[in-house]
Structure 1
Amino acid sequence: METLPQLPEDIIANILSRLPVKYLIQLKCVSKPWLSLISDPQFAKLHLAQSKNSISQRVLLITEPLESAACEASVDDLDDESKLIVELEYPAAMKKTPDSDELVDGWLHLGGSCDGLICVVFEHERIFLWNPTIREALELTKLGPFDPKGTFSYGLGYNCSTDDYKVVRVARPSTAVASNESEVEVLELKTNIWRRIQGLQSGIEIEGQGIFLHGALHWLASRQTGPKKSYVTVAFHMVEEKFYELVPIPETIKESKHDLLVLGISGDCLCLFDGCGYETVLDAWLLKEYGVKSSWTRLFSVHRETLHGHKYWENALCYTKTGKVVIDYDGRELVWYDPKEKTSKTFTPRNDWDWFQPAVYIESLVSPHCCYATNTRNDIDV
């Protein structure tokens, strides 16, 4: 009996790299060579590169139970919870003990996502990188003493020049009277050491989690010029490790609404949601050409009474490829709104905490251990 000819390994890798992550995890059981191939960090990079344009974003609902929702849900999927929602588990590394159901002590903050990795921070001291898709988590070196009354912003990004991931923390002490007193610290996975770098320009303040795009982290920032405050998007270059002003916000946005702005992402473009909160109108803007102020384009404008759940404070998370905006309603409901059809669908999680924190991410095979320093402790959760 003739045996089937074996395909070359590079062709097998190319074929497998085009499959969704959930199937690749199952295919690890086919054979030891496939297990080795799919577990290889180089294959994770190949898979990420192949699927960059087709990867759909998801929203991780950090609550109990832990759930993940598909941002690019179709109309049918929105009506079928089994297709819309996947229930996940918290990694053992983030629990008080391996057999405990409780997370480590401290208030949980989100520090952004990049290539399927999510940065999770407990009390601004314990920081984890977590890929919920492949169920791996890693605790990074603890930060030093901090001001519990200060303000903190985090970001997670990738440095293409060193093939390494970086976590950035911007801390502003409660005693600071000027923004240039902000302290900026960076950790590279290959060294697992926090180091201080030059801070923000004088007069600039940022808040929230950074959005990684085009080799830089991005925040919405305020700039104080005398008695007047203006808003710009600020970027942190991952290779040069320098902050710079990218573009101001659209001039048509009223100054009175600046505190209701949310920076988001749509594909490979930044977007800006104007009027999040209790305003009567929600506008969405897209920066079509990166770094060009004149390329701000209005995507849609919708009156709040047409939005389901308008009794809650809303936080627009992302604008999908199919033209829907995914909205977090006060950590209580997740809503997909179609501004063209003026329709919305709502998902209320089975929530034992009475609230959730949302983290927008993509599914990938990238392990938090891929670049991690080999001379430091390694917490793996498989």
Structure 2
Amino acid sequence: METLPQLPEDIIVNILSRLPVKYLIQLKCVSKPWLSLISDPQFARLHLAQSKKNNISQRVLLITQPLESAACEASDNDLDDESKLIFELKYPAAMKKTPDSDELVGWLGLGGSCDGLIFVVLGHERIFLWNPTIREALELAKLRPFDPKGTISYGLGYNSSTDDYKVVRVTAIASNETEVEVLELKTNIWRRIQGLQSGIETEAGGIFLHGALHWLASRQTGPKKIYVIVAFHMVEEKFYELVPIPDNIKESKHDLLVLGISGDCLCLFNGCGNETVLEAWLLKEYGVKSSWTRLFCVHRETLHGHKHWENALCYTKTGKVVIDYDGRELVWYDPKEKTSKTFTPRNEWDWFQPAIYIESLVSPHCCYATNRHNDKFV
């Protein structure tokens, strides 16, 4: 019997690096060499680079029970077919009270995502890096207790100069001061660095983009608050004000502004809450204030469920806004057509927390592995 010809390994690597993660997980069962290849951290980096080059689609992780994941870039047909729109996942065993239960060990908070990894705070002290796609989680060094009177913001980003991930915690304390702590995955040690300029306060989870973490922030100037986007450079470990928000929305209330993402651009949603309109702005050229472009402005009565508080999560390639309505519903709103599609999770908590992420093979344990140079991954 004639045997099939064997493809060169570099061609196999090239082909596999272009496949979706769900298929690669299945292909681990083909053979031991394929298991070794697909599990290699260097292959995960190659696959991630290919995915970003092809403008990989984002997903929304719904932290509730059961744990579910929805496609941000769902087509109109997929939005009508729940089996294509959403699938169920499992929480890591380390976060659960018992291996066989689904009950978590304490309150779970989210602190951002990067390269498919999600930063999770469990019970205010225990922290994890978690890739829900490949079902791997790593517990990191515990946090120091925080001042309950202060506000805390987190962020997760990648340092390309050291091939390492960093977790950043920004704590607002008394006298308009901030305390900033950084944990590098390779050392797993928290260390304190220079904080933000006095009087600047960040909020929510940081968004990692263009080698920096970004937060919406405010600074008191006389009787007024000025709103800016603050960035933290992952290599230099320095804060800087990236760009002010558009002039047209400077008078908006701070709690009605939400920083989001669209592809590889930052976007700003104005009017989330009780305003009469909702508008979105895109920063087309990174760091250039004049490049702010308004994507849409719609009256609230056109929005599904406008009686609820809402949090705009992202603006999709197809021109839809993915909105979290009060932690109860997920809505895909088309501002051009003024139409919406709604998904209500089958949750037992009566609410959910959303996390925007991408599917990847990157393991939270990757930076503990010895970096091996291999020409087939270059």
Structures share a fold, TM > 0.5?
A: yes
Give yes or no for contact 2:151–2:173 (8 Å, CA) kept in 1: no
For 2:182 and 2:375, the matched residues in 1 are separated by 21
For 2:26 and 2:118, the matched residues in 1 are separated by 23
Give yes or no for contact 2:150–2:174 (8 Å, CA) kept in 1: no
| SS of residue matched to 2:274 | coil
Q: 1:269 to 1:99 in 2, by over 3 A?
A: same
For 1:185 and 1:336, the matched residues in 2 are separated by 36
Runs of at least 4 residues of structure 1 off by over 3 A?
Answer: 175-180, 372-382
Give yes or no for contact 1:281–1:303 (8 Å, CA) kept in 2: yes
For 2:377 and 2:185, the matched residues in 1 are separated by 17
Q: 1:101 to 1:155 in 2, by over 3 A?
A: same
For 2:9 and 2:185, the matched residues in 1 are separated by 30
1:60 aligns with 2:61: yes
Q: In structure 1, list runs of 5 or more residues that go unmatched.
A: none
1:80 aligns with 2:81: yes
Give yes or no for contact 2:172–2:201 (8 Å, CA) kept in 1: no
| SS of residue matched to 1:310 | coil
1:222 aligns with 2:218: yes
How many Å apart are 1:177 and its aligned residue?
Answer: 6.8
Give yes or no for contact 2:227–2:250 (8 Å, CA) kept in 1: no
How many Å apart are 1:200 and its aligned residue?
Answer: 0.3
Give yes or no for contact 1:158–1:238 (8 Å, CA) kept in 2: yes
Identity of aligned residues (%): 90
Q: 1:152 to 1:381 in 2, by over 3 A?
A: farther
Q: 1:246 to 1:56 in 2, by over 3 A?
A: same
Give yes or no for contact 1:283–1:302 (8 Å, CA) kept in 2: yes
Partner of 1:231: 227
Instruction: Count residues with an aligned counterpart.
Output: 377
For 2:2 and 2:173, the matched residues in 1 are separated by 79
Give yes or no for contact 1:191–1:373 (8 Å, CA) kept in 2: no
Q: 1:374 to 1:40 in 2, by over 3 A?
A: closer
More displaced, 129-138 or 369-378?
Answer: 369-378
How many Å apart are 1:149 and its aligned residue?
Answer: 3.1
Coordinate RMSD, CA, aligned = 3.9
Give yes or no for contact 1:264–1:272 (8 Å, CA) kept in 2: yes
Give yes or no for contact 1:179–1:204 (8 Å, CA) kept in 2: no
Give yes or no for contact 1:180–1:199 (8 Å, CA) kept in 2: no
For 1:356 and 1:186, the matched residues in 2 are separated by 28
More displaced, 61-70 or 137-146?
Answer: 137-146
For 1:179 and 1:322, the matched residues in 2 are separated by 45
| SS of residue matched to 2:290 | helix
Give yes or no for contact 2:217–2:227 (8 Å, CA) kept in 1: yes
How many Å apart are 1:181 and its aligned residue?
Answer: 2.1
How many Å apart are 1:99 and its aligned residue?
Answer: 2.6
Which one of 271, 296, 303 corresponds to residue 267 of structure 2? Answer: 271
How many Å apart are 1:182 and its aligned residue?
Answer: 1.2
Q: 1:349 to 1:379 in 2, by over 3 A?
A: farther
What does the per-residue CA deviation read over 1:228-270, in whole Å, with 9 as the maximum and x for residues that have no partner?
2100000000000000000000001141433310000000000
Q: 1:176 to 1:254 in 2, by over 3 A?
A: closer
Q: 1:375 to 1:163 in 2, by over 3 A?
A: closer
How many Å apart are 1:9 and its aligned residue?
Answer: 1.2
How many Å apart are 1:373 and its aligned residue?
Answer: 7.8
For residues 151-170 of structure 1, the aligned pairs below 5 Å read 151-170=151-170
| SS of residue matched to 1:252 | helix
Partner of 2:97: 96
How many Å apart are 1:368 and its aligned residue?
Answer: 0.3
What does the per-residue CA deviation read over 1:63-115, in whole Å, with 9 as the maximum and x for residues that have no partner?
001000000000000000000011111110111232332111x3221100000
Q: 1:263 to 1:41 in 2, by over 3 A?
A: same
For 1:74 and 1:176, the matched residues in 2 are separated by 41
Partner of 1:40: 40
How many Å apart are 1:4 and its aligned residue?
Answer: 2.0
Q: In structure 2, list runs of 5 or more residues that go unmatched.
A: none
Give yes or no for contact 1:136–1:381 (8 Å, CA) kept in 2: no
Q: 1:234 to 1:39 in 2, by over 3 A?
A: same
Give yes or no for contact 1:93–1:381 (8 Å, CA) kept in 2: no
Q: 1:94 to 1:373 in 2, by over 3 A?
A: farther
More displaced, 158-167 or 50-59?
Answer: 50-59
How many Å apart are 1:381 and its aligned residue?
Answer: 26
Give yes or no for contact 1:211–1:218 (8 Å, CA) kept in 2: yes
What does the per-residue CA deviation read over 1:137-158, in whole Å, with 9 as the maximum and x for residues that have no partner?
1110101232233211000000
Q: 1:336 to 1:107 in 2, by over 3 A?
A: same
